[in-house]
Amino acid sequence: MVHQNWARNLTYSARELVRPTSLEQLAEVLTGDEPVRALGSRHSFNDVADTHGVHVQVDALDDGRPAVDPLTPDGESTGVVSVNAGLRYGEVSRGLHATGRGLGNLASLPHISIAGAVATATHGSGDANQSLASSVVGLELMTPNGELRRLTRDEHPDVFGGCVVSLGALGVVTRVELLTVPTYAVRQDVAAHVPWDAFVSDFDAITGSAYSVSAFTSWDEPDVRHVWFKSLAGADGGNRPDVPASVRSWAGAPVHPLPGVDPAACTEQLGVAGPWNDRLSHFRLEFTPSAGDEIQSEYLFPRRKLGAAVEAMRAISATVGPLLQTSEIRTIAPDDLWLSPFDEPSVGFHFTWLSRPAEVLAVLPDVERALMPLGARPHWGKVSTVDARDQAELYPRFADFRQLADRLDPEGRLRGGLVGRLLAD
């Protein structure tokens, strides 16, 4: 069987893809003799989810509970919702909003699966917004011996930090428990052409002026092309954010992150307020977001290194720019998860490359030489040329994670691709 990831830049090695409809069927797969890996929405651009054995998707799994299940012990709402791990964020967010609840943040795409995004520390943007994994307060996973285990932050504080961003190395996650908030409204305004020197000097004021802020560039441009401000709107629809004088002009028509592309697939802009789940992501669930084949990379580094990072990228912009569709700059708040790259206030430089694999692989070492000395870490699900052992050494608690993986998967049947290289003896 041949199947590929979402962008078609990777052909998986698995001999079979199964979609169990019951926990019993999942246990049969997990207790077999072959290697097993969970597969989500296939939005990873590297082989972090790959295996030579069996791929398992849990989106059709029915464990006898609603796919989106508010947890109400003794009839009292906890603000926590238990969801099928294979659902996409867009599907879950619509269900939550309909019940008056919301999530604190979303990634740029609503098309990604809950478990896959959580396992790889995928994130949105916002000075006070943590990664998507940080809203997880519990999860259920089935280990290779067929045991279904529930782990929560309150009941398992010694290991929970290692169980969320887990790269699928501990078991197949069947349900995820997410902390929710009351639903809220967001408006989206886009500024154009912010000078680079002002963007760096006013960075704190710019990113602090709205709930979620993202900037788009190709690095070889004379200024930052667009800055997207997603502001809490309130009942009155809100106002444009109070930004520094360096933000001089506002877009008068909707824009797309990729220059010249029709913005029809993007969430509504021009300050029109709407539900959080229709604004925090850049793209609408009902549209295919890609402008075509692409390759993605991302590097996350300490926010205090922002000025040096911009300077380093601008220095290689003539090399990087011609291969880029776009690059996005985002901010992320810290958390305490073992394999999260966000152990202090952080910035992410995200790269959406043209689908020219050999040329991209040739230029990535230049990007990594610019950013890795500043404390950057590659995103777990994106393309990089950083050696797996070197990547593991960037995480102080990786040895603890290895021990946890050895305990839950002693035969190493959940190890393949990048995970196999990370945990190799």
User: pLDDT tens digits, residue range 162-214?
Assistant: 999 999 999 999 999 999 999 999 999 999 999 999 999 999 999 999 999 99
284-299 average pLDDT score: 82
Asked if pLDDT for residue 393 goes beyond 60, the answer is: yes
The position carrying tokens 């040096």 is 308
If residue 130 lies in a helix (H) or strand (E), which one and from where to where?
none
234-247 average pLDDT score: 92
* Position 183, amino acid: T
Asked if pLDDT for residue 132 goes beyond 90, the answer is: yes
256-273 average pLDDT score: 94
135-147 average pLDDT score: 97
What pLDDT is recorded for position 75? 58
Which domains occur in the chain, in start order?
A: 68-183 (3.30.465.10), 185-378 (3.30.70.2520)
User: pLDDT tens digits, residue range 310-357?
Assistant: 999 999 999 999 999 999 999 999 999 999 999 999 999 999 999 999
Write down the mean pLDDT value for the chain: 95
How far is CA 275 from each of CA 6, 27, 128, rounded to the nearest angstrom?
Answer: 27, 39, 19
How far is CA 312 from each of CA 213, 262, 295, 324, rounded to the nearest angstrom?
Answer: 22, 31, 22, 17
What's the pTM? 0.96
CA nearest neighbour of 203 among 341, 319, 311: 311
Q: Work out the pLDDT band at 248, boundaries 50, 70, 90.
A: confident
Are 269 and 240 in contact by the 8 Å Cβ rule? The answer is: no
The tokens of 281 are what?
A: 């992501």
What pLDDT is recorded for position 3? 87
What pLDDT is recorded for position 74? 61
